[in-house]
């Protein structure tokens, strides 16, 4: 399975698993963007991201760890 920017829920799950000791509430969008692009299954164009997508990923990650 390859991940695209639109797979926000799955990206959030994978980030929560990969960074279990990280509080996503305090991550900058620059770092979040980089971490998403570094996920093994991520295969989308890094330039297709935007603030709305990163906000959605961050919010879902926060939900995931609660």
Distance CA 65, CA 1 (A): 23
- Domains identified in the chain, total number: 1
In a domain, residue 14? The reply is yes
Task: Give the domain extent around 41.
Answer: 8-65
Residue 57, number of CB atoms within 10 A of its CB: 26
For 48, list phi and psi in degrees, rounded to 5.
Answer: -85, 0
Q: What is the pTM of this model?
A: 0.94
Can you give the CATH number for the domain in which 26 is found? 1.10.10.600
The verdict on residue 56 lying in a domain is: yes
Q: Over the chain (66 residues), what is each successive 10-residue block's mean pLDDT?
A: 95 97 96 97 96 98 94
The average confidence (pLDDT) of the chain is: 96
Q: Is 1 inside a domain boundary?
A: no
Question: Distance of CA 17 to CAs 45, 50, 58, Å?
Answer: 23, 23, 14
Q: How far is residue 42's CA from residue 29's CA, in Å, rounded to a whole number?
A: 17
């Amino acid at each position: 399975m390859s991940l695209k920017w639109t797979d926000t829920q799955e990206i959030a799950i994978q980030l929560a698993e990969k960074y279990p000791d990280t509080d996503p509430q305090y991550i900058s969008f620059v770092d979040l963007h980089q971490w998403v692009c570094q996920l093994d299954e991520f295969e989308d164009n890094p330039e297709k991201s935007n603030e709305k997508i990163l906000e959605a990923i961050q919010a879902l990650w926060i939900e995931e760890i609660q």
